[in-house]
Structure 1
Amino acid sequence: MSDGPANGGEAVGQGYNVPGRRPDSQAPWEFFLGNAAHRLIAYMYKVNHPGRLAYFNTKTLADILATSGVGDPSRLLPHERYLRPDITDTSALSLFEIKPWGDRGLMEGRQEVRTYLTAVNRAVVAGTSFIGGTGFQGQLLIRFARGQYIWRLEWQTPEPGITQYRWTRSQQRFESEQEAYRAGQWVELTVEEMRQYGGWVGQAAEGMVSRREQLATLSEVVGIFIDIVGTTATGAFSGAIFGRMGSGRGAQPPTQGGGQVIPLPRRVPPASPPAQVPPAVGM
């Protein structure tokens, strides 16, 4: 991930003191929300494309080329060996950079995608060429233990290789995430809301992805299904999977303000994506 801010700069406040966080950590709320978005979006790419070999931003280009066999890492320039695209799909020969919504994210994404493509295409085998990925979009909901606003993470790929995301919340309070999803009325978050809940969002995202990754080997037994509605792929999990998650330690949101990522309801058509990239939400 290349758009996360450096640590430091803000005092620890509500939503920062989440379980597992170092007491002296000063990471600002942007770090939690950006990291959560990257973690969830990358995971949903894997869910939507289970048969593909894809690498995420923990792997360098040198490692990806060496492991996948699609190219020769020795052809990379010295500084290119350590580049880490957010999503590199060696089966589809495409890559994505994940950025926040807005003009700045779009411009930064263009530059980074050009850099990645120049590097990887210098190193791939003859007759092979990577391109910027397209057609990747979706959304996930987050429910909190305190306050009944439902948060939504939405992402789209407005141009090849650049996947942009934004966080919004339900316009009013709802008893369930299904009600919020059906209402389809989302508003931008305030800075105070981001500060208050940023840490909980990060914890919820990491917990959701980690548990599902651990349960991935059980998919043939308990049945993970993916519904494709229009051009949006939504991942949901069967009652058996969800029941296992609910019984595990830490699966439920903490009573003092934690959050829980919720799969979208089945067969409910999502709202139409905006015609153009909405403005940034302060990230």
Structure 2
Amino acid sequence: MSDGPAAGGEPPGPAVQGYDVPGRKPDSQMPWELFMGNASHRLIAYMYGVNHPRSRAYYNNKSIKTIIRDTGLGDVSLLLPDEREICPDITDVSLRRLFEIKPWNERALQEGREEARKYLAALNRTILDSRRFTGGVDFHGEILIRFAGGQYIWRLEWKTPEPGVVQYRWMRSQKPFDSEAAAYKAAQWVDLTVEELRQYGGWVEKAVEGMVSRREKLATVSGTVGMVIDLIGGVATTVLWGAILGQMGSGSGAQQPPAQGGWRGAGLIGRAP
């Protein structure tokens, strides 16, 4: 399930230039919250696969019914009617772990807790062996994004505050930096404004989808992943920095994290906030 970040209670405003993403339909009314929620889910699911290359994992375009049938772990007939099509955000059938991805606020935490409980009850009702699914723990990280030609560094951070729930938030550097490494070292982050999220949310989602769908290599510095959003000659590209962490290969057993819905396409922004 896709979510948007907390907006601090500010009233919604009119559509702004963040919706002017190449390839996007002019009459599209997709809210900016969904752009950022989609990008967050996509990156976090991708990083789970990178961090667990030996796991067989399913993401939120696969229903519990499909997961049980594909793996043969349980008896699909034991699912209740309203459980057959529900789709957990991350279901690791190798480690028998499950995660729901939610924004970084108390209400979303409660929703994630309830959804994880529901999904675990459904999965475990069908299991034919003694290994039960549990809520996943200790999954955390951050990704830094630099906009070509821009100044501020954006940061996506996620954590597991309790078993089965991953929460995320977007921030930016307090002041301009020339590189992600400098921003990471300074460790001075502030909340993004609603206007910034509205204006650039579509571009960030476009960048993330392009990078993940091409299964580009990710890079890491002290456990922090960084990528540059650039636009060269009208062709969008992703440039990644630092030492190579790894790549989701076809032989790893991890499945490609899915698209989250809404407008899709390869490409990245060439301007910064």
Residues 229-277 of structure 1 deviation map (CA, whole Å, 9 limit, x = unaligned) = 5xxx5568xxxxx9xxx9xxxx833689x895755x459xxxxxxxxxx
1 CA distance for matches of 2:233 and 2:19? 15
Asked if the contact 1:204–1:261 (Cα under 8 Å) also holds between the matched residues in 2, the reply is no
Secondary structure class of the residue paired with 1:203:
helix
| Offset at residue 75 of structure 1 (A) | 1.3
Asked if the contact 2:113–2:165 (Cα under 8 Å) also holds between the matched residues in 1, the reply is yes
Of 225, 250, 253, which residue of structure 1 is paired with 2:231? 253
- Structural mapping, 1:207-218, within 5 Å: 207-212=210-215
1 CA distance for matches of 2:224 and 2:134? 24
Secondary structure class of the residue paired with 2:146:
strand
Structure 1 partner of 2:107: 104
Change (3 A) 1:148 1:53: same
Asked if the contact 2:148–2:230 (Cα under 8 Å) also holds between the matched residues in 1, the reply is no
The alignment status of 1:20 with 2:23, answered yes or no, reads yes
Q: Percent identity?
A: 57
2 CA distance for matches of 1:262 and 1:78? 45
Of 119, 122, 133, which residue of structure 2 is paired with 1:119? 122
Structure 1 partner of 2:171: 168
2 CA distance for matches of 1:203 and 1:103? 28
The alignment status of 1:3 with 2:3, answered yes or no, reads yes
2 CA distance for matches of 1:261 and 1:105? 33
Of 60, 64, 69, which residue of structure 2 is paired with 1:66? 69
1 CA distance for matches of 2:123 and 2:221? 31
Structure 2 partner of 1:85: 88
The alignment status of 1:48 with 2:26, answered yes or no, reads no
Structure 2 partner of 1:159: 162
* Paired residues, number: 237
| Offset at residue 144 of structure 1 (A) | 1.5
1 CA distance for matches of 2:199 and 2:176? 17
Extract unaligned runs of 5+ from structure 1: 216-223, 237-241, 268-283
Amino acid at match of 1:192: E
Structure 2 partner of 1:204: 207
Amino acid at match of 1:252: D
Instruction: Give the TM-score of the pair, scaled to structure 2.
Output: 0.78
Change (3 A) 1:254 1:194: farther
Secondary structure class of the residue paired with 2:177:
coil
Extract unaligned runs of 5+ from structure 2: 6-11, 245-273
Secondary structure class of the residue paired with 1:91:
coil
Residues 142-196 of structure 1 deviation map (CA, whole Å, 9 limit, x = unaligned) = 1113531110000000100000000000111111222111211110011111111
Asked if the contact 1:48–1:235 (Cα under 8 Å) also holds between the matched residues in 2, the reply is no
Amino acid at match of 1:199: G
Higher relative contact order (CA 8 A, sep 6+): 2
| Offset at residue 82 of structure 1 (A) | 0.6
2 CA distance for matches of 1:154 and 1:134? 16
Change (3 A) 1:2 1:118: farther
Asked if the contact 2:230–2:239 (Cα under 8 Å) also holds between the matched residues in 1, the reply is no
Amino acid at match of 1:72: D
2 CA distance for matches of 1:259 and 1:149? 19
Structure 2 partner of 1:280: none
Amino acid at match of 1:73: V
Asked if the contact 1:85–1:96 (Cα under 8 Å) also holds between the matched residues in 2, the reply is yes
**Bigger proportion of residues as helix:** 1
| Offset at residue 71 of structure 1 (A) | 1.3
Amino acid at match of 1:160: P
Change (3 A) 1:83 1:183: same
Asked if the contact 1:149–1:174 (Cα under 8 Å) also holds between the matched residues in 2, the reply is yes
Residues 209-246 of structure 1 deviation map (CA, whole Å, 9 limit, x = unaligned) = 0122xx6xxxxxxxx688695xxx5568xxxxx9xxx9
Instruction: Give the TM-score of the pair, scaled to structure 1.
Output: 0.76
Secondary structure class of the residue paired with 1:41:
helix
Change (3 A) 1:52 1:31: same
Of 181, 192, 195, which residue of structure 2 is paired with 1:192? 195
